[in-house]
Structure formats: C-alpha cells, structure tokens
Structure 1
C-alpha cells in the first residue's frame, strides 16, 4: 500500500487540471468529462480540491461560493469523498482542513453542507471540526 506521507492535497485549476487524467474509478459518480471539468473550473466560485497519491486522485471535494447581495460570501461544501481503500485514514479530514483554509483566505463567512442521517463517518468528520447538526427539510424540485 502506498505511503500516505506522499499524499498531496491541492486545488485543481486550469493550469494543473491534467491531474484529473488519472482519477480512481470509485471517486466520482461517473467518469470525469473534460468539457464539464473545464466549465466547472472556469467559474472562480467553483472549487475542486483533490487528494493525490502516486499521481492518482484518490479523494476530492467540490465546493461553491454562495454569493448574495445582502450577506457576506458563504461556502457551500457539496461533496467530500475518498475511495474506499483509503477511507478512515484521515484523508477526508485533511481535505476538509484545506477547503476551510481556502474559505478563510477568500473571506467566506461560514461553510454549510448536508449529509444523510445515516452517514456516520461524514457526521463524525464534520462534528470533529466543530460543526453542529441542524434540523431542516430538504426538497427536490423536479422539472
């Protein structure tokens, strides 16, 4: 098994997006499409943070800055994931720490996210960073 001391965590940008040519199969819901990746990265408020080990992307976080006319910027953390063979080794925590550092550097007032009630690993991760769960209703609008 590769040594985690060689793990690199960084933001994917237009200049280093070739790192996405070697993504672990189980990381995204579907294969990464270059056209969609380019469109995502073209938006300065869209962030893609990756964990790379031995030139292979094994973890990721997608996030978006939520801007409004009446409040300071907030970061919406869409998804953090690590491939199954590397879970519970602190990689997601390192990714989250990196994302929160970027949010602070870029003047985001707070970060918000959601997860399923039964996703205990995610809940522990977020709570270990001081997050407090709130009750709310989630609706999906189909159109």
Structure 2
C-alpha cells in the first residue's frame, strides 16, 4: 500500500513527515470532537460549561487537528478589540500530542488562527511563550516570527 493511504483498519499513514489530519473549527456543532482527545493536547480536561461559555464568545476561536479518530492538536486565539484601532489577534494556546509533533500540525493550526484573525479585521498577530520553552521559541523562529522585547508582570 502506498504512502499517504489508509489500510483496511482505517489507520492513517504519514506522508513526508506531514500528518494527514483535518483542521476543524470547534463550534457548538463540532464540539463533540472534543470527546476523544489525545494526551497533552490541552493542559486540563475540557469542562462542558466552560466550553459552552468559550464558544459563545465571538472574539475567541478554537481549531483542532483530528487524526486517527481523535483530536491530536489544538490552537486557540482571541481577537482583542481596541477602541482606537483594529483588533489584535493573540495566539492564546497551541498544543500537540507528543506522538504527532513535528508533522506540521502546529504550523497549520497557527495559520488557521491567524487567518481567522485576519477575517475579523486583525492586522497584528501576537504570540507569547516562556523564554525557557526552547521548543516553542525554535518553532516560532522557524516560522519567521520576530521576537519583541517585552516586560511582563504577574
């Protein structure tokens, strides 16, 4: 059987390092996909009440990658409205199951969030990560994103 084709059990093969996953925007109609999520995609279990509130918020978006019958990666963002200019898109979270990393899913999800933000009128796209998160820093650099000096207080 050739690369990129499914066997009779429906397992999806990888082609040239890319995961043959479908990127889906989570809405009330597609929220059922979150019933089967691979390890380490989200930081915590999905709470149905919080999910409903999230999905009812027009400024936020959640995309997932579905492969092998489960959610294997997610990317979510918020279009932050401004009183003196267009909204700004912020990538709030990006998570991929370890078994599906380095297969292009995070790139596809980031692009989906970015494209959604552009459709909302956002002209700027912001991403933040901890300086010690070497994997994330390297990933964002490979995408050509520029680091901006920033002081952050908590």
After TM superposition, the score normalised by the length of structure 2 is: 0.83
Deviation of residue 3 (structure 1)?
2.5
Equivalent pair of 1:51/1:91 in contact (CA under 8 Å): yes
Q: 1:15 aligns with which of 29, 47, 50?
A: 29
Query: Which residue of structure 2 lines up, in the alignment, with residue 123 of structure 1?
Result: 137
The gaps in structure 1 that reach 5 residues or longer are none
Q: Does structure 1 residue 137 correspond to structure 2 residue 151?
A: yes
Number of equivalent positions: 140
Query: Which residue of structure 2 lines up, in the alignment, with residue 3 of structure 1?
Result: 13
Output the CA distance in 2 between the equivalents of 1:55 and 1:41: 22
Which contiguous aligned blocks of 4+ residues in structure 1 show a shift greater than 4 angstroms?
none
Equivalent pair of 2:91/2:110 in contact (CA under 8 Å): no
Deviation of residue 128 (structure 1)?
2.9
After TM superposition, the score normalised by the length of structure 1 is: 0.89
Q: 1:75 aligns with which of 78, 84, 89?
A: 89
Equivalent pair of 1:6/1:54 in contact (CA under 8 Å): no
Query: Which residue of structure 1 lines up, in the alignment, with residue 119 of structure 2?
Result: 105
Q: Does structure 1 residue 43 correspond to structure 2 residue 53?
A: no
Output the CA distance in 1 between the equivalents of 2:143 and 2:79: 19
The gaps in structure 2 that reach 5 residues or longer are 1-10
Name the larger-Rg structure. 2
Question: Quick check: which one's helix share is greater?
Answer: 1
